[in-house]
A and B are shown apart, each in its own frame.
Chain A
């Protein structure tokens, strides 16, 4: 029977893997750069900008991602004036990006705050422009400081992708569920658990590589 389980599971899991990795990659690629901009807005001297950004971060961190997914897919349509029916895929990307941007933004905010004021002053005295100072002097040091925390969130994101089931999307966990139901077997869940572990192992390797790349200075 186990061979039949695998026969059904493998093609479904491969399809599901595309969803899982797709949600993971798009979320990371969009929310990391976006979160640096959000962190800057959060730190803006303009009270309105910083408190609006603060409110956004509060809502995103203060409610479950599952609820956010449901709201954007099912609920946003009913919002007066701006209501719009997002497709399933749109809703998934929007929810994940909004949610992860908020977490990453707080990490970057802490990282930017941890840079000594002397770095900005030295840049200013040398006549380096504001954006050059941020991109070339501040940000590389921030990235070194925040890498461990970012890495944590990246690993969490892999597992959070399974939440897309609530909108009926077919990720690897959904594949396991279908096969488990078809054969009344628990083993598909075990196999899928191993897939998550493998993904995490690869990511851990990559994250460690990036961290050690920044270890050339102290």
Chain B
């Protein structure tokens, strides 16, 4: 299992977003998290990516605990461990959040160069590989404002993949896409999964769920059904 979530709970003040959620995701699996808006799908995804702090429970990513339950108290990973855990899980934001002042290539290189993950040469090789796989060849020098929605999304995917994560999360990936780009994105997601990356997709797009997911987790009233 690349991801194991156990008894995870999250409150915003007195409001319970979700309670005692447990599920796991296997290598290369495509899992959709479904639910009406406001049911906490995105919050769950943000907890997995450490953008939101859970209140209870544990999240284990590739044998590393992002957070762990210890005698009823949640214990978060130390800063030094966090950096390693982080690189195992990537997130493609709904609004992509590309860096507008950097071109496509710079967007891709920023994190791996900063983290010194690989040699410069290998980083560039990996970038070229991803640009080819995501049909972005020739866009290296373009700035985000010059790209279409689908292209921006693919740059965001490439940027996340530069760190070779085991898990890639998508927040509402089809919300800004037309039919053609939507088919393109499902193909890309299947490709990534066949390369062994586990995919977690948060969406309320039922058509997309039926088309792509191998397993569906439905969030409603703060708890989940797996099916």
- A119 (CB) vs chain B CBs: closest residue: B97
Assembly CA distance A33 to B49 (angstroms) = 33
Q: Which of A34-42, A103-111, A125-133, A173-181 contacts B (4 or more CB under 8 A)?
A: A125-133
Rounded to whole Å, the gap between the CB of B151 and the closest CB of chain A is: 15
| Cβ A141 vs Cβ B49 within 8 A | no
Assembly CA distance A95 to B95 (angstroms) = 45
| Cβ B101 vs Cβ A217 within 8 A | yes
| Cβ B99 vs Cβ A132 within 8 A | no
Which chain B residues lie closer than 8 Å to A136 at the CB level? Answer: 110
Which chain B residues lie closer than 8 Å to A116 at the CB level? Answer: 97
How many interface residues does chain A have, given as a range?
Answer: 20 to 34
- B91 (CB) vs chain A CBs: closest residue: A125
Which chain A residues lie closer than 8 Å to B86 at the CB level? Answer: 125, 127
| Cβ B111 vs Cβ A128 within 8 A | yes
Rounded to whole Å, the gap between the CB of B49 and the closest CB of chain A is: 5
Rounded to whole Å, the gap between the CB of B178 and the closest CB of chain A is: 23
Is A184 in contact with chain B by the CB < 8 A criterion?
Answer: no
Interface centre among B99, B100, B160 (most CB of A within 10 A): B99
Is A45 in contact with chain B by the CB < 8 A criterion?
Answer: no
Digitize A106-149: 1 where CB-to-B-CB distance is under 8 Å, 0 elsewhere.
00000000001011011011111100100011001100100000
| Cβ A127 vs Cβ B111 within 8 A | yes
Is B226 in contact with chain A by the CB < 8 A criterion?
Answer: no
The residue that B49 contacts in the complex, of A118, A119, A125, with Cβ under 8 A, is: A125
Which chain B residues lie closer than 8 Å to A122 at the CB level? Answer: 93, 97-99
- B46 (CB) vs chain A CBs: closest residue: A121
Considering only residues 16-65 of chain A, those with a C-beta below 8 Å from chain B are none
The residue that B97 contacts in the complex, of A118, A144, A216, A217, with Cβ under 8 A, is: A118
Is A218 in contact with chain B by the CB < 8 A criterion?
Answer: yes
The residue that A126 contacts in the complex, of B100, B143, B144, B163, with Cβ under 8 A, is: B163
How many interface residues does chain B have, given as a range?
Answer: 20 to 34
The residue that B101 contacts in the complex, of A118, A121, A126, A144, with Cβ under 8 A, is: A144
Assembly CA distance A121 to B160 (angstroms) = 13
Assembly CA distance A137 to B111 (angstroms) = 11
Which chain A residues lie closer than 8 Å to B144 at the CB level? Answer: 217
**CB within 8 Å: A-B pair count:** 55
Which chain A residues lie closer than 8 Å to B114 at the CB level? Answer: 127-129, 132
Which chain A residues lie closer than 8 Å to B87 at the CB level? Answer: 127
Rounded to whole Å, the gap between the CB of B102 and the closest CB of chain A is: 8
Which chain A residues lie closer than 8 Å to B57 at the CB level? Answer: none
| Cβ B51 vs Cβ A121 within 8 A | yes
Rounded to whole Å, the gap between the CB of B39 and the closest CB of chain A is: 21
Assembly CA distance A140 to B100 (angstroms) = 10
Which chain B residues lie closer than 8 Å to A124 at the CB level? Answer: 50-51
Digitize B139-157: 1 where CB-to-A-CB distance is under 8 Å, 0 elsewhere.
0000111000000000000
Which chain B residues lie closer than 8 Å to A140 at the CB level? Answer: 101
- B98 (CB) vs chain A CBs: closest residue: A122
| Cβ B100 vs Cβ A217 within 8 A | yes
- A118 (CB) vs chain B CBs: closest residue: B97
Rounded to whole Å, the gap between the CB of A15 and the closest CB of chain B is: 43
Rounded to whole Å, the gap between the CB of A216 and the closest CB of chain B is: 7
Is B159 in contact with chain A by the CB < 8 A criterion?
Answer: yes
Which chain A residues lie closer than 8 Å to B37 at the CB level? Answer: none
Considering only residues 84-122 of chain B, those with a C-beta below 8 Å from chain A are 86-87, 90-91, 93, 95, 97-101, 110-111, 114-115
Beyond A125-B90, A127-B115, A218-B143, 4 additional contacts (C-beta under 8 Å) are A126-B159, A129-B114, A137-B99, A217-B100
Q: List 7 A-B contacts (CB under 8 A).
A: A118-B95, A119-B99, A124-B50, A126-B160, A128-B110, A128-B114, A137-B110
Q: Which B positions have Cβ atoms within 8 angstroms of A? A: 49-51, 83, 86-87, 90-91, 93, 95, 97-101, 110-111, 114-115, 143-145, 159-160, 163
5 shortest interchain CB distances as A-B pairs: A122-B97, A126-B111, A118-B97, A218-B145, A217-B143
